[in-house]
């Protein structure tokens, strides 16, 4: 059976092994270069409170979470 991709579906070339990360949905271990990474910002404050604090000039930190999917 012929090989479909030279890279095997991974980003980067000629590196060899990649560190593995766990899929956030199914728990499968996937190479970091092959996994789809999704970064989202998480609000620590509810929307009404956020609007009030923003009006007063408060700087509100929104940490980002990174999830990997296979």
Domains of the chain, residue spans: 20-69
Digit-coded pLDDT (tens) for 8-38: 788 876 777 889 999 999 999 999 999 999 9
Summarize pLDDT for 43-57 with one digit per residue, the tens.
Answer: 899 989 999 999 999
Residues 60 and 54: beta-carbon distance below 8 Å:
yes
Asked if 33 and 13 touch (Cβ cutoff 8 Å), the reply is: no
Question: Could you tell me if 44 and 60 are in contact, meaning their C-beta atoms sit under 8 angstroms apart?
Answer: yes
Residue 18 is predicted with a pLDDT of 86
């Amino acid at each position: 059976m012929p090989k479909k991709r030279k890279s095997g579906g991974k980003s980067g070339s000629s590196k060899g092994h990649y560190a593995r990360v766990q899929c956030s949905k199914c728990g499968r271990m996937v190479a970091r270069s092959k996994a789809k990474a999704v970064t989202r910002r998480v609000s620590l404050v509810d929307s009404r409170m956020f609007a009030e604090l923003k009006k007063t000039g408060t700087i509100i930190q929104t940490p980002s979470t990174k999830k990997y999917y296979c």
